């Protein structure tokens, strides 16, 4: 891509494919029918981006 750093869009695009297999969901999360992609999406919404 010719860039020296990852962009916010790069992180958003790759977060789920990279992290989903690293997460173990609790029974409570599974009971709420949440999956790893839901957790990654929530993390991306919760963590502020640098200015």
1-17 residue pLDDT tens? 689 998 999 999 999 99
Evaluate if residue 20 carries a pLDDT over 70.
yes
Residue 51 has a pLDDT of 58
- Within 13 A of 35's CA, how many CA atoms are on the CB side? 5
Query: Quick check: is 23 in a domain?
Result: yes
Span 33-48, pLDDT tens digits: 999 999 999 999 999 9
Separation between Cα atoms, residue 47 and residue 26, nearest integer Å: 21
Q: Say if 2 falls within a structural domain.
A: no
For the chain, the domain total comes to 1
| Cβ atoms within 10 Å, residue 33 | 7
Judge whether 3 lies within some domain: no
pLDDT attached to residue 49: 82
User: Whole domain around residue 35: which residue ranges?
Assistant: 8-46
For the chain, helix (H) and strand (E) counts, in that order, are: 3, 0
């Amino acid at each position: 891509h010719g860039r020296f750093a990852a962009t916010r869009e790069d992180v958003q695009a790759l977060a789920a494919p990279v992290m989903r297999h690293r997460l173990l969901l609790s029974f409570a999360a599974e009971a709420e029918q949440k999956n790893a992609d839901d957790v990654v999406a929530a993390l991306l919404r919760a963590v502020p981006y640098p200015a």
